[in-house]
């Protein structure tokens, strides 16, 4: 009887702990976008461990990838909506007129993030190769006139690569890593960050639902666009989503 009673007690305790763990995960797990991948789940679990936001309000950031001629449409949208854009730039793949424009916009307050030297995949690279690529990126941006001291301390690995080696190199640099995870971030201070994509296929009702829920959580939404891909980039959808986020109450001031 004693063994039976002990067994029931142990079972109850284990069950209670399991239920508590499940509750915490469900309570803290980030809001997911429509594209759920292994990377999204992994980053979500890491952010669950980091905890929820302690900010007094919800924050947002808009990052456009690849520094193509599409950046002029991005700047036009940003000026019209009244927010500061951020550009994930490929350091050695910009024509002079593009680099000069981005340098000028950086002086006006736009954000610049490293997105690789020549956009080659880091997936199978070792630490030294990744470090060299990041170093060359900063050197090339400096040569083109960028203020490298003001480059945002985030890195977008080319092609959304996410390996332990990449994470190790970026974390040691004291930077945050923008991953390919499609989610709303619990807070601004997690090392691994996800994004919510805006494209021509964006469902505006679904986007409003996500943003309203994220705002109530005081969460951190990073919007992703690829103006370098005309077939998926939509000026109207992008403008509408950003206006929606601003009207809901998100702060786009990444200096705070």
- On whether both 74 and 26 belong to a single domain, the answer is no
Judge whether 232 lies within some domain: yes
- pLDDT of amino acid 255: 66
Based on the domain organization, do 80 and 104 belong to the same domain? yes
256 belongs to a structural domain: no
Six-digit token string for 36: 């759920």
Contacts 24+ apart (CB under 8 A), 31-36: 31/183, 31/184, 31/210, 31/213, 31/214, 31/217, 31/219, 32/182, 32/183, 32/184, 33/182, 33/183, 33/184, 33/194, 33/196, 33/197, 33/210, 34/182, 34/203, 34/206, 35/182, 35/197, 36/182
255 falls within a domain: no
Residue 203 forms part of a structural domain: yes
CA–CA separation, 213 vs 59, rounded Å? Answer: 13
- Answer whether residue 253 is part of any domain: no
Residue 232: phi and psi, rounded to 5, are: -105, -20
Which residue stretches of the chain have pLDDT < 70? 1-30, 34, 255-256
Q: What is the pLDDT of residue 253?
A: 85
pTM, rounded to two decimals: 0.87
d(Cα 228, Cα 217) in Å, to the nearest integer?
32
Residue whose tokens read 């021509």? 200
Q: State the pLDDT at residue 8.
A: 52
Same domain (yes/no): 20, 94? no
| The pair of three-digit structure tokens given for residue 35, joined into one six-digit string | 């594209």
Is position 254 within any domain? no
Buried b / exposed e along 125-153 (16+ C-beta atoms within 10 A):
beeeebeebbeebeebbeebebeeeebbe
Does 129 fall in a domain? yes
Contact criterion met (CB below 8 Å) for 251 and 188: no
Residue 188 lies in a domain: yes
- 23 and 51 fall within a common domain: no
Asked whether 210 and 183 are in contact (CB, 8 A), the reply is no
Residues 26 and 93 in one domain: no
How many domains is the chain partitioned into structurally? Answer: 2
Based on the domain organization, do 233 and 123 belong to the same domain? yes
pLDDT (0 to 100) of residue 54 = 82
Task: Tell me, yes or no, whether 119 and 2 share the same domain.
Answer: no
Same domain for 151 and 161, yes or no, is yes
Residue 4 parent element (H or E) = helix 2-28
Residues 12 and 52 placed together within one structural domain of the fold: no
CA neighbor of 113 nearest in space, from 151, 62, 72: 151
The token duo for 44 is: 């979500």
17/99 same-domain check: no
> Read out DSSP for 16-81?
HHHHHHHHHHHHHPPPB-S---HHHHHHHHHHHHH-----SS-EEEEEEES--TTHHHHHHHHHHH
Q: Are residues 112 and 180 in the same domain?
A: yes
Nearest to 62 by CA among 205, 215, 196, 200: 196
- Domain match, 14 and 67 both: no
Containing domain of residue 5, as a range?
Answer: 1-30
Give the CATH number, domain containing residue 217: 3.20.20.370
Position 214 scores a pLDDT of: 94
């Amino acid at each position: 009887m004693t063994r039976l009673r002990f067994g029931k007690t142990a079972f109850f305790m284990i069950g209670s702990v399991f239920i508590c763990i499940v509750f915490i995960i469900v309570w803290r797990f980030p809001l997911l976008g429509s594209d759920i991948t292994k990377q999204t789940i992994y980053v979500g679990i890491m952010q669950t461990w980091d905890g929820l936001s302690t900010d007094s309000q919800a924050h947002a950031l808009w990052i456009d990838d690849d520094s193509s001629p599409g950046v002029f449409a991005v700047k036009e949208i940003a000026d019209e909506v009244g927010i500061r854009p951020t550009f994930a730039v490929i350091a050695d793949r910009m024509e002079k007129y593009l680099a000069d424009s981005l340098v000028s916009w950086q002086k006006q307050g736009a954000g610049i993030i490293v997105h690789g030297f020549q956009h080659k995949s880091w997936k199978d690279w070792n630490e030294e190769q990744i470090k060299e690529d990041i170093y060359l990126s900063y050197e090339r941006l400096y040569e083109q006139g960028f203020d490298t001291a003001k480059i945002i301390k985030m890195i977008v690995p080319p092609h959304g690569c996410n390996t332990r080696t990449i994470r190790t190199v970026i974390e040691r640099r004291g930077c945050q890593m923008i991953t390919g995870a499609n989610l709303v971030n619990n807070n601004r201070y997690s090392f691994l960050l996800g994004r919510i994509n805006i494209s021509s296929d964006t469902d505006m009702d679904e986007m409003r639902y996500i943003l309203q829920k994220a705002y109530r959580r005081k969460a951190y939404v990073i919007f992703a666009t690829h103006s370098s891909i005309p077939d998926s980039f939509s000026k109207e959808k992008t403008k509408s989503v950003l206006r929606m986020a601003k009207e809901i109450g998100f702060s786009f001031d990444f200096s705070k």
